Chains A and B, each alone.
Chain A
């Protein structure tokens, strides 16, 4: 039994390392497949005016004169020593940049998920409480709206309506972290979380509705009702409690995606998260920035998946028993 566990752990760790290596190779290759390099990204069409000697000097400066294999392994090797690379544009190490942007994205992801759960779970339960009724239809409309209204549209509309009509635009003030100014930070996170949360609420709502309907048809629910368990307690403790596994799966998945950075929402609300860091890296062709950040995101995704698995064991005794 012990060795089995150890084997499972070993297998999981090996799988994770393999996945991360795959991501590293993929990002490295894809980045170089994009036309242009840091020289043309910086100089634009002015790069056409460079003499061959100037071109060489710049290639040396940006490390583009090294063979690709050398570039790959020196970057990967440096990652192990904690050197994630350096952003000449930001004049900061990628590690420092990531340490600034990852908590911002994490905070945004947590708030978005919380809002999504607050919208999705109650509405899902409400919709399931009487299928094909008006409340079910209302739930479907909300979920359809969440799925089909693009984030950029909702974000821009919210921002311009609040700014133009009420002069309320905390995101225009320059970003502050939760520790610097909690009140302003929460204001700045409100609209982006709402936009993201509304989008994520849709799949959560649908999953909740389906799962609740499925659990309700089980014998134990009828038994509990027959035993006289009050309806409210029945719905929350017995039905929702047993419907949590698919909801947690869906939430975990969405959380993982959010950690990859919500690029569009971060752009519109000027939130300096990890999505913007990757986007700027791609725009400027700062290879080290993109490669290292994407690896961090991949690692975060793996960790969230792992935590989701652990959560199954907590909420579902059957998983624990197996």
Chain B
């Protein structure tokens, strides 16, 4: 009916006029960000919600960083990644290294007010070790035979052998100390930790707000609240910082970091422990021959990969990136690209005609992967090595990686402050990731065992230098470079300390002026 139709159009027009005038008038209104956030609220821009609030299963960036501020661990890392006391005031290894005794801090309470004591430590460690819990750090406690709590302030770990890496391994949030009364279901709904913050408010898919824990055992957090605001797109986080809505964010993509710098936003870059690598599977096809692997290693100019794929933002590295144990990238069979040497190695392997290496690449897992793969392919092609690239969606990549179903994989692997934690699981013959690493040797098994049994820092450094040399000489993998973590902060943010591990643990010392 024309009249009905007309009125429908009329209503739509009136409504839309009202809406647009409303929107445009409100659109030109000044931003209310400053007043809404108040003095003591720090807003951190993150691209996703935490995928779990249970610390023993957290691996995602947001989850780890939220939980790190809610929970405490027996040991902690300082800003230089040295192991320092946390919930344990001190620890002492027995003469034979088979016993580690922790003295716990007194007067510590959980968020619900209950006291923290050795029973909680015993219960936590035992549950982490229990396979039914499916805790991701279970393997880090493989040397622990039993946990005893002789008194409320003392915990004794009985070890199968000396384990110098244990104190560092206890510093991750995957080793968080939970109250012995709590269950996974309860903690997923309501975290109950001993950290500098407690959970304030959570709006699924939008934000999670932490409130200062005034009963925290160490210096109280500077900010009254910290809101992790979910802004799924990194460029939108940059826009939110430019308009003053977000005060802190961490980026890994150098391109995004470049767009963020300027105006009221400061971007600081910190070298990462994470390393970009071409993982080789030395148990498959032509790569079984060390000469083929060495030929690949000699045919790659790592600096070129870094420049092409990551705008030169990073540094060429060897296997170990932890500052205290850092490998020298010049101590490798071909520190610079040497195609003649690559040809020699191929000839030694009887493959002068060239080889084909099926390589998996993840698309979307991190920003530079496909560019790295393409550069590697171009470089290796000049040495008659054909990288047959298979670019996969990140879920498919993880599936193939987990099943070790690849000749080579372009990957960004997580580095840790402690080389044993980084590599023993990959390159010892009984390591839980050895299937994926595709390489082990009796020499490496011995070196890692020696590293665990040695407490002297200088002696340990020498041992892990040997580990690095062995890995490079056998071209177990081809280590490429380490990038930077970019911490963007608004001009009114003070006191944040970025860490090479990418951790946001120093949110506790951060204030908003």
Contact = CB atoms under 8 A, between A and B. Distances in A.
Contacts of A277: 205
B139 A42 contact: no
Interface stretch (B20-28, B367-375, B466-474, B477-485): B20-28
Contacts of B235: 156, 159-160, 268
B51 A89 contact: yes
B362 to A, nearest CB: 10
B395 A163 contact: no
Interface string A103-139: 0000000010011011001000000000000000000
Nearest to A315: B5
Interface residues of B, number: 84
Contact of A163 (B1, B22, B132, B240): B240
Contact of A172 (B16, B33, B425): B33
A149 B202 CA distance: 36
Contact of B395 (A34, A101, A118, A317): A34
Given A36-B398, A114-B12, A169 B31 contact: yes
Given A48-B436, A173-B33, A280-B49, A114 B24 contact: no
A173 B413 CA distance: 34
B239 A88 contact: no
B386 interface: no
Q: How large is the interface on A (under 10, 10 to 19, 20 to 34, 35 or more residues)?
A: 35 or more
A122 to B, nearest CB: 9
Contacts of B245: 169, 172-174
A54 B138 CA distance: 10
A44 B59 contact: yes
B204 A91 contact: yes
B206 A272 contact: yes
> Most A CB atoms within 10 A — which of B204, B240, B242?
B204
Interface in A265-304: 267-270, 272, 276-277, 280, 284-285
A50 to B, nearest CB: 7
Contacts of B240: 163, 169, 171-172
A163 B206 contact: no
A54 B9 contact: no
B363 interface: no
A252 to B, nearest CB: 13
A3 to B, nearest CB: 28
Given A51-B432, A92-B204, A244-B5, A164 B52 contact: no
A87 B204 contact: yes
A183 interface: yes
Given A53-B131, A172-B240, A111 B402 contact: no
A314 B4 contact: yes
A229 interface: no
Nearest to A269: B236
A187 B29 contact: yes
Main secondary structure of the interface of A (DSSP, over half): helix
Interface in B2-45: 2, 4-6, 8-9, 12-13, 15-17, 19-20, 22-24, 26-29, 31-33, 36
A276 B227 CA distance: 20
B62 to A, nearest CB: 11
Given A61-B134, A241-B2, A163 B393 contact: no
Contacts of A186: 19, 22-23, 26
Nearest to B18: A114
A223 interface: no
B402 A51 contact: no
B131 A54 contact: yes
A276 B59 CA distance: 22
Given A48-B401, A159-B239, A184-B32, A36 B395 contact: yes
Interface in A29-48: 34-36, 40-48
Given A50-B134, A285-B395, 10 more contacts: A40-B402, A44-B398, A45-B402, A54-B134, A57-B132, A92-B204, A174-B206, A190-B27, A268-B236, A284-B51
Interface of A: 34-36, 40-51, 53-55, 57-58, 61, 87-92, 97, 100-101, 111, 114-115, 117-118, 121, 156, 159-160, 162-164, 167-175, 183-184, 186-187, 189-190, 193, 236-238, 240-242, 244, 267-270, 272, 276-277, 280, 284-285, 314-315, 317
27 contacts: A36-B399, A42-B60, A43-B57, A44-B398, A48-B402, A48-B436, A53-B132, A54-B132, A57-B132, A90-B49, A118-B16, A159-B235, A160-B239, A168-B31, A171-B236, A171-B240, A172-B243, A173-B31, A173-B245, A174-B229, A183-B26, A190-B23, A190-B26, A241-B2, A270-B231, A270-B233, A315-B8
